[in-house]
Structure 1
Amino acid sequence: MKDLITFELQKLYDDSHVSPFIQELCEYYTSGLDYEDGSYQDEIEPRKIVEPVYTLFLLQRREIFLDELSYIRKKYPHLFSGVEQLYEDILINMDIRIPESKCAQKLADALDNKVSSSEILEKIENLCSRYEDFCEALDPFYSWIHNFYS
């Protein structure tokens, strides 16, 4: 299965129908499936930080990214299995304010409430308006939140 996921990831990165942000998102979630022993906790950013961040950025262009994930469902089913729950969670919430506020609060909690959820949302909205490619917006966002945890 791991070889199949690796093969699909290689094809995904060559697929012009999928944005770099969604490519990165798929790689993150599907590679997490391989860590049965919890060793993913040795990653640079803890999951309690990364997953709300990805969700918050995803919500900024919800319709476009859901379309891309639907495409991945059809074309790369093994990769989609890693993001399926996230996709379903985003899809069922027509009003993004609910999942947005929940994720922002999760992130604020992970940062020991050294920054408010509203400040997090404001920063993400600002970065997403400045960068076409959300992968480029992630680095300055992580740099910013590093001010609140180490």
Structure 2
Amino acid sequence: MLQIDRTTYDALVAHAKRDHPVEACGMVVGPIGSDRAERHIEMVNAAGSPTFYEYDSTDLLQLYKEMDERDEEPVVIYHSHSETEAYPSVTDINLAGEPGAHYVLVSTREHGNNEGPVEFRSYRIIDGVVTEEEVTIVDAVAPSEESS
């Protein structure tokens, strides 16, 4: 199950709507081993495509260096689908390289960047096997013990 705070959920949805029709992408990171989605990082879709996303390799390397320095890891890897449902494509499945991460898809196909609901779903993708999981939106994620 993915537990995500309302502010982060709203930020992911806003990012997806703002970038529509281009697929939005990014991560929410947290302390290693915690499964707590604490710090949202919007990334630029270097592909600039409505049907594919790709992180800029320089930005991605910088993010991984930063996470390493802060003892963080990707908790949520997200992107939007602007033309299809919020379900991983074959490409999404083949590129899923973080077995511990929650893969969130936000579909903006119904309302685009206009007001209206989106489809927000989360999956675990391990060795090509896709398993949908429940998403619980909370007021706040419990802070890590290190930051208390």
Larger strand proportion of the pair: 2
Shorter-chain TM-score bucket reads under 0.3
TM-score by length of 1: 0.27
TM-score by length of 2: 0.27
Larger helix proportion of the pair: 1
